[in-house]
Amino acid sequence: MTTKMQGNAGRGQGAPVGLPIDRVDGRLKVTGRATYAYEQPSAGPVPPAYGYIVGATIARGRIVAIDTRQARQAPGVIHVMTHRNAPAQPAFGPSVPPTPRDVFTRARPYLASDRVRYYDEPVALVVAESFEAARAAAALVQVRYQAEPGEFELAPRLAEAYQPPRTNAGFAPDSATGNFANAFSEAPVALDVTYATPYQSHNPMEPHATMAVWSDAGLTVYTGSQTLGNFQAGLAATLRIPPERVRIVSPFTGGGFGAKLIVHADTVLAALAARELRRPVKIALTRQQMYANAGHRAAMSHRVRLGADRDGRLSAMGYEVWSATCRFEEYCEQTAVFARALYAAPHRATRHRLVPVDLNRGEWMRSPGEAPGMLAFECAMDELTGLPYSTRNLVDCMRTGAARFGWQHRRAAPRSVREGRWLVGMGMAAAIRPNYLGAAAAQVAMDSRGRVTVRLDMTDIGTGTYTILTQIAAESLGVPLNWVRVELGDSRFPRTAGSGGSWGAASAGSAVADACTQLKARIVAAAKGPEQAAPAAVRFADGAVTLGGQTQRLDDLMARVAPGGLQAEGRVAGMGEAYKAHSHHAYGAHFAEVAVDADTGEIRMRRMLAVIGAGRILNPKTARSQILGGMTWGIGAALMEQTLLDTRYGNFINHDLAEYLVPVNGDVAQMEVVFLDQPDPNANPLGIKGLGELGVCGAGAAVANAVYNATGARVREFPVTLDKVLAGMAAAERLAL
């Protein structure tokens, strides 16, 4: 696996930003000294108790009887909580809250009524002296239900779909430019195809887990969180206490992919039980419980209609998406929104429709919108061959990738390349992802020795945040990397937008850079007095500062002028005027080569290439890691990943890592990543564009298109499994006769 950089980040000689720096937290993680939520020791005199959640065995109905006597009498049990004795909590509220922001901060009550809204919804919590005792006693809780008929399937009920008031992130559900219907009906070349994408589950390595501790100061929650502000607000609303009495601590989060943007049952129930018992309580969802209680990507049906002239110019583009949604809390993934900005066509239309089902809510899953949307849309685009591509540096990504991958050697006709029993094919797809900027603040302090401490409530979910913020601070202040210590994941630190939407690096990084600018001004003021030196005469580099032609070591200067140290706070306001004046996206192009066994339909990845245009690249090593993870995710989405629903009972049946298939080492191809390092001055002060989710976008479509090129089998129901490939090959052979 290789990484290439093209372009110039504009950094000075010796500056750390742009260098492939090793992760500063790497040693902590590989030696097991990075402490995650469930590993947090209790700081108080009383050891933590352990909670285990009992889930409903029906998907819809109500509890008519619940017997906890045996559980309460079991060894080690401290407390059993049900809807009958749980503390009062606010009502959940309307399915669609007033604003998109309210989705993240609304109260989320648990054990609040006798209603069951989805399979495995918590109906009881057993708290005991050990995890094993709590789990054993949980099996003794007896619940009797009055079940009601549930509706779980999407495909047979598309006629029942309705138009939501908005999609995720507040986008309008429909869009129209020109007259799509007329243009499509008159197009010389037209394509009308329907694709299906399945339910998918996040499956971060670290399960959802929480330790809640109450004190006179309020509640402290140790948990794995992507956005501490969401957890603080959501818990405060649920517990009916001021947000300032809730402290969230999350220095390390073992993956999230969107599943840890809001509070879930483990956090709320741990807080409720800890308050009742006046004792720390730990709760971790089991892997099986996560499938119903920690969100998922909803099943979708995608209808793509493309019209083109005979020379390949796109004239009409229509994209409609039907998605399953929870009854009690609507979630509409913005699946078709990317298509409004990707390709030029004079007549365009997109629509989102929802079908209510009796499942828990869908949630944000890596690259919400683009990941499932581009999987379908870019396969449909491949079916309409010969089109020119033209969108900003998307063209550069495609041309660079085509040259590096050897696209000129691809044979367009399917089943044209054979090596023994293996059919070989190539595929490609575009990638696009909106580039966001969230409001963020950061505090930077320098002590009398010149050592720097950076504090903000930003999280590191495995993406390398500690490392890139260290690089930004070191470069901004002109100090060695080992002079900088970054502290993250505490809601007492300045507020950021957190990790989500691929905005983490740009938002937090811009705030840190601004704080460093403010700190340098304070250092200069302390050294020069009220009259600061002209900016051109001040230079921070190599652990020293040059003022008016005189250079002093920072440690000597700080010891003399600020023995108590200095600090400053910086911020970035979020998407401002620049986001109104320009369309902000990051782009990429994915290329894939596969081999398919002509007899069995077995698919083997051979190689993949991603060419990424995501502004200034802060650290090629951590950036490459993100893109490789996205490419691997694309392989899984194309070939194996799906959460299987038992449509009789509304439960997910492959709810563990033995049967929920994701790629392992043997499934992954030879991979290459190329960055077009082109800073975007209109995006943010550092010229950064988000790339964490860009690596997923289009990657799966490139794989599926390669399978088609190899076999002639166009599979439109994902994942592309060998049974579907065999059926497709047989159909293609019949058509050829």
Give the residue numbers marked as catalytic: 693
Burial of 412 (0-12, 13-18, 19+ CB in 10 A): exposed
Question: CA-CA distance, 48 to 281, in Å (whole number)?
Answer: 5
Question: CA-CA distance, 580 to 47, in Å (whole number)?
Answer: 53
Question: CA-CA distance, 101 to 25, in Å (whole number)?
Answer: 32
3-state secondary structure of 423: strand
The one-letter amino acid at 35: T
- State how far the alpha carbon of 8 is from the alpha carbons of 42, 351, 584, in Å: 49, 40, 20
Q: Which one, of 234, 584, 694, 228, lies nearest residue 441 by Cα?
A: 228
Question: CA-CA distance, 86 to 114, in Å (whole number)?
Answer: 12
Question: CA-CA distance, 717 to 723, in Å (whole number)?
Answer: 12
- State how far the alpha carbon of 525 is from the alpha carbons of 84, 449, 478, 529, 533, in Å: 63, 18, 17, 5, 8
Question: CA-CA distance, 670 to 218, in Å (whole number)?
Answer: 52
Rounded to the nearest 10°, the torsion over CA 394, 398, 399, 400 is: 100
Question: CA-CA distance, 447 to 445, in Å (whole number)?
Answer: 7
76's tokens: 């080690």
Q: Is the dihedral of CA 8, 10, 13, 18 positive or negative?
A: negative
Overall residue count recorded for the chain in this entry: 737
3-state secondary structure of 634: helix
Q: How many CB atoms neighbour CB 361 within 10 A?
A: 19
CB-CB contact of 121 with 62 (8 Å): no
Residues contacting 114, CB < 8 A, separation 6+: 62, 63, 64, 83
Question: CA-CA distance, 555 to 301, in Å (whole number)?
Answer: 62
Question: CA-CA distance, 700 to 594, in Å (whole number)?
Answer: 12
Q: How many CB atoms neighbour CB 302 within 10 A?
A: 25
CB-CB contact of 228 with 248 (8 Å): yes
Terminal-residue alpha carbon distance, the chain:
42
Scanning 240-326, the segments in alpha helix (DSSP H) are 265-277, 287-293
Phi, psi of 673 (to 5 degrees): -125, 130
3-state secondary structure 310-345: CCCCEEEEEEEEEEEEECCCCCCCCCCCCHHHHCCC
Sheet with 115-116, edge to edge strand ranges: 115-116, 61-67, 142-147
Question: CA-CA distance, 39 to 16, in Å (whole number)?
Answer: 33
Question: CA-CA distance, 700 to 591, in Å (whole number)?
Answer: 10
E strand map for 365-491:
417-419, 422-434, 440-446, 452-455, 484-487
